[in-house]
């Protein structure tokens, strides 16, 4: 799936939601924070709980962790307006410096706010994220303007070099002062530069985009790799204790059990697409066959399932 096809598909989806408007508007979203444990906060749009249950798109979520020495910000948002909202949410809880900010992926809604961080903040990225931004930044912002609209603050975004890089399969531990946080690469989960953040004391996991939000949202295999993505999500699921809090990429706080929906969906896609390949069906015939009505309900289903996920599975399983 190339970016142009993604754009066309997203435009079709957004035009069916409301003519010509982006799936969510970076000039309108209002973020709120939720305390999960002392010093541990999620943030997400104030319409998340209402929208996610209806399967409607929700803007970006993230969080922050406060230790005695300082704060870790998890994802820096699409534009200055949203980034500054996160800084205010942090300042409402702590006057400690923002020591670190981590980007769960290169996607602009998780990383464009880097340029608005205080000078002292160290930016943490996966090496795949850094390489993507180094090579594709201008094209990426053009793509994001097409999908999220002009005048949403994307025109002014400039890339900022990361200070700390996490390598393939890497895992680093940050000491925020009486608060240890781990940043983990569990494997390819959407972009190949996917970082998960784990605060063990409160048993809180931030996933970024690999988990959009609860049922009926579905994974977006924008860069393919169904088998690796399924494998990585199973590793994440097995890593988590039963009572873990999970902060997804685009919704309010969910439970470990909510990850099952995404894993079961990817397993069903894998099984059904494999059956189609075994019967000698073409990609077009497979897309038509593998409709999976039991996994419908997501507003972006008509884009994400037939145009991204089934083709990704077909490509992977045809190897």
Instruction: Indicate which single residue of 109, 140, 199, 316 sits in contact with Zn ion (rule: CB under 5 A).
Output: 109
| Cβ-based neighbour number of residue 275 at 10 Å | 14
To Zn ion, the closest distance from the beta carbon of 314 in angstroms equals 25
CA angle (196, 202, 208) in 5-degree steps: 20
Per-position b or e across 129-142, b if 16+ CB within 10 A of its CB: bbebbeeebeebbe
Quick note: the x/- pattern for Zn ion over 150-189, rule CB under 5 A, is ----------------------------------------
Which of 64-72, 103-111, 147-155, 192-200 is the region at the interface with Zn ion (rule: CB under 5 A)? 103-111
- Residue 209 binding Zn ion, by CB under 5 A: yes
**CA–CA distance, 53 with 267 (Å, rounded to integer):** 22
Tallying the residues shown for the chain, one arrives at: 319
Among the listed residues 261, 266, 242, 241, the one whose alpha carbon sits nearest the alpha carbon of residue 251 = 261
Report yes or no: 104 and 63 within 8 Å, Cβ to Cβ: no
To Zn ion, the closest distance from the beta carbon of 129 in angstroms equals 13
To Zn ion, the closest distance from the beta carbon of 51 in angstroms equals 14
Give 109 or 185: the residue with its C-beta nearer to Zn ion. 109
Which of 139-147, 236-244, 245-253, 256-264 is the region at the interface with Zn ion (rule: CB under 5 A)? 245-253
Which of 85-93, 167-175, 183-191, 204-212 is the region at the interface with Zn ion (rule: CB under 5 A)? 204-212
**CA–CA distance, 153 with 78 (Å, rounded to integer):** 8
To Zn ion, the closest distance from the beta carbon of 174 in angstroms equals 22
Task: Kindly list the residues in this chain that would bind Zn ion in the complex (CB under 5 A).
Answer: 107, 109, 209, 249
């Amino acid at each position: 799936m190339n970016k142009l096809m993604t754009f066309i598909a997203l435009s079709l989806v957004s035009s069916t939601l409301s003519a010509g408007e982006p799936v969510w508007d970076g000039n309108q979203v209002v973020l709120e924070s939720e305390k999960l444990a002392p010093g541990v906060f999620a943030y997400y749009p104030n319409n998340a709980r209402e929208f996610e249950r209806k399967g409607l798109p929700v803007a970006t979520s993230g969080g922050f962790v406060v230790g005695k020495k300082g704060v870790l910000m998890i994802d820096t948002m699409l534009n200055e307006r949203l980034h500054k909202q996160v800084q205010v949410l942090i300042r409402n809880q702590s006057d400690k410096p923002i020591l670190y900010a981590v980007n769960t992926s290169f996607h602009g809604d998780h990383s464009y706010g880097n340029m608005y961080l205080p000078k002292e903040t160290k930016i943490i990225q996966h090496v795949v994220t850094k390489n993507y931004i180094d090579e594709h930044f201008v094209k990426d912002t053009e793509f994001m303007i097409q999908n999220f609209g002009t005048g949403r603050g994307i025109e002014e975004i400039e890339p900022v070099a990361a200070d700390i890089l996490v390598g393939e399969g890497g895992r680093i531990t940050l000491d925020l002062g009486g608060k240890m946080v781990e940043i983990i690469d569990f494997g390819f989960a959407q972009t190949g530069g996917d970082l998960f953040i784990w605060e063990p004391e409160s048993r809180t996991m931030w996933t970024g985009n690999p988990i959009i939000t609860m049922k009926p949202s579905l994974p977006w295999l924008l860069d393919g790799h169904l088998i690796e993505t399924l494998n990585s999500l199973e590793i994440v699921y097995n890593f988590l204790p039963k009572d873990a809090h999970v902060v997804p990429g685009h919704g309010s706080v969910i439970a470990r059990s909510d990850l099952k929906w995404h894993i079961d969906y990817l397993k069903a896609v894998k099984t059904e697409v494999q059956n189609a390949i075994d019967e000698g069906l073409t990609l077009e015939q497979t897309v038509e066959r593998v409709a999976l009505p039991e996994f419908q309900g997501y507003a972006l289903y008509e884009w994400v399932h037939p145009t991204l996920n089934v083709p990704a599975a077909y490509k992977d399983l045809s190897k």
